[in-house]
Chains A and B, each alone.
Chain A
């Protein structure tokens, strides 16, 4: 992958951190002019399908809803990738399944080789996945050879055509385990991608793995020529320094959720910091904002993971350490509500470690999410 000058401005500088502290926004206060809660308007959760494909891959992570019909998928189809293989080893899953809401059937969209030579460490599909209006699918790999970070590779971003075939692989010094859900501004012939890298400096799970503050949020500017695969025009680290940690149970913990909002703000869920940060001037900045400003912290959040923007502009964040999704008003940082979308008592707290990817339905009347312990795709609406 190409390397731009701006990419050298890695987001860990002290000034940004100082600004972040000065402008930290408390999430405690509530305002009378809040928009109605999106979560309060939901009625039920419906299990749509088991997500295990024919090769037995498990642990559904990313969810992306197709904005167009192209190749193997139709507009509105729900693509889900798997992080684990059939033996339930993390970082070895290589499949993307396609749930068709109209027929309620599940097909396999792509099955990649674990040993993809251009991708350092191979393929273990992560929560970073998007389907572009041009029909290209971009998915992240956070690979391992043994199911732990002991053998993790730096991974890559993989470009698939609409038939599920590999068209290109992006790797390089700015990419290390693209982990969380991508925020995307898709203009058709061009696009801006934000992706979190949670692998820099993450070592073994042996002993008590340390927290390292080397993660980055990378902005990729893409050119998408007609009929050709996207190419990277430039890449810029727009934020960084969020905590990352190797983990025996969940592979690694790091910044996972990204959502692009009003006023050119990018929101980042910082799992280890138990907060949501905001990065200002997200599409124009040429330097890193560090960990940005804290929009909201603690409260109903418990290891926030994937994040999406609801039609009312509020952020919906899945919790990693219980089965709740939390609604946050980005204008004020107020945590409006949390809804239990996984109450499985097999885990303590219920739903602990089950939630990951989240995506809005095309009509905005609900959201899709995964329960990765039981390999299911669920619709809340």
Chain B
């Protein structure tokens, strides 16, 4: 199921009606909040006069108690201390995170059907610092729960391989991650054990995270080629991961996880919906082979703790380059040939695909800042690229790539905004293409051969408050599904037309 990407932790979305209500509340509350805490009678003279600007005004300002909503528009979270709950938990080393991402996506042209769909994701995260809790340095527990709601536009209306939103998934509430991490050797190494979603650490592109399309998060190759899409949102798998900071620029990560995050006690229906087969995220399966993954990360112009500098020259621009590979030791069916060597499309085929031992992929990720006016400027121009390949005989997607450019602080006074333009490309594997051709030949029906799909996305993230972002988004998909027939076309002769999708996402950190 290609519904995975790295969801933005700490942000949320609201339905339009809720949005309007919030905006109205903002208009009503903001001026009041600024005025109430000032005792100087001159403060009420005019809304546009700030008492602090008046001579000696700050000698007469009286302290006022802060309330639940004091400083709402300048703080990091909507609910602040939650009436004392956060600080009470904090005494025991517990942190509480709650985010809501909501979006309205609309297919305005092309695709299977035009239409609008609302979908959203609530993420509850609970962390525990063992040093604060019981004095064990460097340890942390993490548990997260997802509540996925709304309708999946990509599945019902688009028919694209590169699905429009990284949070689209089956609705429901599920356990996501549940792990313990321990640092050691002066934080040069750490180990993480438990149920993990590896899209949080592997194949991550820093600058691609600004985009909405799924494939800028968890890419197409693992989404389609790993069993059940791999241990990535909204699924996760039991495993262990080791990270070592080899020297200043080099870091290596390696992990081993159960090979199929949807299986239960070893049972798995390859024709069923993986998310339904692990509907609550509590299968805790360890019986379906193993996924091995390793990644080498190299930072350029990325300072390390304790690094000494004596030069006075301009610092170079930071970048991160990653090279990785994964291997799954399960058996994988060929997409064109059966176990007797016949074409699967052949009516005389057994229908049982030829089995390959294992599956693998190699990938590379690059993130590089390419311009900033000064070292401490909020404005930065950044580029990213990510490519990966997998064998085309056993995988639907044999190659996928992302690339793009982002600009932070694009306008005066908009230091926390980001604008971006991204490109995504996927190539259908050669045996899947062969199957399409074979099917046409044997059936005599029109059955186009899938080849590739390309998407272009333009996006703008606008920060209303540190805890609230709005994101406008436009996506254009060329050759949706790689060029498959449109299931809504009664003639059976039309491919899915190129698609325009418009979207508005809101992310709130509670």
A residues lining the B interface (CB < 8 Å) = 28, 39-40, 42-46, 50, 52, 54-56, 85-89, 92, 114-117, 119-123, 143, 145-154, 171, 173, 176-177, 199, 202-204, 206, 208, 248, 299-300, 302-303, 321-324, 335-343, 345, 348-350, 352, 380
Chain B contacts of A88 at CB under 8 A? 75-77, 80
Chain A contacts of B131 at CB under 8 A? 50
**Cβ-neighbour of A115 out of B63, B86, B88 (below 8 A):** B63
A147→B307 contact, CB < 8 A = no
**Cβ-neighbour of B376 out of A42, A92, A146, A352 (below 8 A):** A352
A115→B64 contact, CB < 8 A = yes
B306→A339 contact, CB < 8 A = yes
**Cβ-neighbour of A348 out of B77, B87, B309, B380 (below 8 A):** B380
Report the Cα distance A345→B321, complex, angstroms: 15
Q: Does B266 contact A (CB under 8 A)?
A: no
B interface secondary structure, majority: loop
Q: Does B200 contact A (CB under 8 A)?
A: no
| Residue of A with least CB distance to B378 | A348
**Cβ-neighbour of A148 out of B53, B71, B80, B309 (below 8 A):** B71
B148 nearest CB across to chain A (Å): 27
B90→A52 contact, CB < 8 A = yes
On whether A56 and B90 interact (CB within 8 A), knowing A152-B52, A339-B307, A339-B308, the answer reads: yes
| Complex interface: stretch among B32-40, B113-121, B451-459, B493-501 | B32-40
A145→B70 contact, CB < 8 A = yes
Chain A contacts of B75 at CB under 8 A? 87-89, 147
Report the Cα distance A88→B77, complex, angstroms: 9
A172 nearest CB across to chain B (Å): 9
B375→A322 contact, CB < 8 A = yes
0 or 1 for each of B70-105: is its CB under 8 Å from A? (1 = yes): 110011110011001011101100000000000000
B307→A123 contact, CB < 8 A = no
Q: Does B303 contact A (CB under 8 A)?
A: yes
A98 nearest CB across to chain B (Å): 16
For the complex of A and B, the 10 pairs showing the least CB-CB separation, nearest first, are: A122-B63, A56-B87, A87-B80, A145-B37, A147-B71, A321-B376, A203-B53, A204-B50, A86-B81, A86-B87
Q: Does B304 contact A (CB under 8 A)?
A: yes
Other A-B pairs beyond A146-B71, A148-B71, 12, CB < 8 Å: A56-B84, A56-B88, A89-B70, A89-B74, A114-B66, A121-B63, A146-B34, A153-B63, A299-B312, A340-B309, A343-B303, A350-B318
Chain A contacts of B444 at CB under 8 A? none
B324 nearest CB across to chain A (Å): 19
B312→A55 contact, CB < 8 A = no
Q: Does B129 contact A (CB under 8 A)?
A: yes
B87→A120 contact, CB < 8 A = no
Q: Does B62 contact A (CB under 8 A)?
A: yes
Report the Cα distance A145→B296, complex, angstroms: 48
On whether A87 and B307 interact (CB within 8 A), knowing A121-B58, A303-B376, A350-B302, the answer reads: no
B residues lining the A interface (CB < 8 Å) = 33-34, 37-38, 50-53, 58-66, 70-71, 74-77, 80-81, 84, 86-88, 90-91, 129, 131-132, 186, 302-310, 312, 315, 318, 375-376, 378, 380, 408, 413
**Cβ-neighbour of A302 out of B186, B375, B413 (below 8 A):** B375
A340→B307 contact, CB < 8 A = yes
Report the Cα distance A163→B66, complex, angstroms: 26
A92→B66 contact, CB < 8 A = yes
| Residue of B with least CB distance to A57 | B87
A343→B304 contact, CB < 8 A = yes
A343→B307 contact, CB < 8 A = yes
Chain B contacts of A338 at CB under 8 A? 308-310
On whether A120 and B61 interact (CB within 8 A), knowing A89-B66, A147-B74, the answer reads: yes
A56→B81 contact, CB < 8 A = yes
B306 nearest CB across to chain A (Å): 6
Report the Cα distance A248→B75, complex, angstroms: 10
Which interface residue of B63, B65, B77 has the most chain A CB atoms within 10 A?
B63
Chain B contacts of A150 at CB under 8 A? 34, 50, 52
B61→A121 contact, CB < 8 A = yes
Chain A contacts of B91 at CB under 8 A? 54, 56
6 CB contacts below 8 A, A to B, read A87-B77, A120-B59, A145-B37, A150-B34, A154-B61, A171-B59
**Cβ-neighbour of A45 out of B50, B305, B375 (below 8 A):** B305
B271 nearest CB across to chain A (Å): 43
A145→B376 contact, CB < 8 A = no
Chain A contacts of B303 at CB under 8 A? 323, 340, 343, 350
Report the Cα distance A120→B5, complex, angstroms: 51
Report the Cα distance A121→B58, complex, angstroms: 7
Report the Cα distance A87→B376, complex, angstroms: 27
Report the Cα distance A177→B71, complex, angstroms: 20
Which interface residue of A50, A123, A199 has the most chain B CB atoms within 10 A?
A50
Report the Cα distance A12→B416, complex, angstroms: 36
On whether A345 and B302 interact (CB within 8 A), knowing A120-B59, A204-B50, A340-B307, the answer reads: yes
B376→A322 contact, CB < 8 A = yes
Chain B contacts of A46 at CB under 8 A? 186
B173 nearest CB across to chain A (Å): 28
**Cβ-neighbour of B58 out of A147, A153, A323, A352 (below 8 A):** A153
Report the Cα distance A223→B315, complex, angstroms: 48
On whether A341 and B312 interact (CB within 8 A), knowing A114-B65, A147-B70, A348-B380, the answer reads: no
Chain A contacts of B58 at CB under 8 A? 120-121, 152-154, 176-177, 199
Chain B contacts of A322 at CB under 8 A? 375-376
Chain B contacts of A345 at CB under 8 A? 302, 318
B374 nearest CB across to chain A (Å): 9
Chain B contacts of A206 at CB under 8 A? 50
**Cβ-neighbour of B375 out of A204, A336, A349 (below 8 A):** A349
Report the Cα distance A345→B304, complex, angstroms: 10
Report the Cα distance A119→B59, complex, angstroms: 9
| Residue of A with least CB distance to B315 | A349
B37 nearest CB across to chain A (Å): 3
B305→A341 contact, CB < 8 A = yes
Report the Cα distance A342→B52, complex, angstroms: 34
Chain A contacts of B64 at CB under 8 A? 115, 122, 145, 151
On whether A87 and B308 interact (CB within 8 A), knowing A44-B186, A56-B90, the answer reads: no
| Residue of B with least CB distance to A84 | B75
Report the Cα distance A192→B50, complex, angstroms: 36
Report the Cα distance A334→B477, complex, angstroms: 58
Report the Cα distance A339→B307, complex, angstroms: 6
On whether A321 and B63 interact (CB within 8 A), knowing A147-B70, A153-B58, A176-B58, the answer reads: no
Chain B contacts of A115 at CB under 8 A? 62-65
B375→A145 contact, CB < 8 A = no
B66→A248 contact, CB < 8 A = no
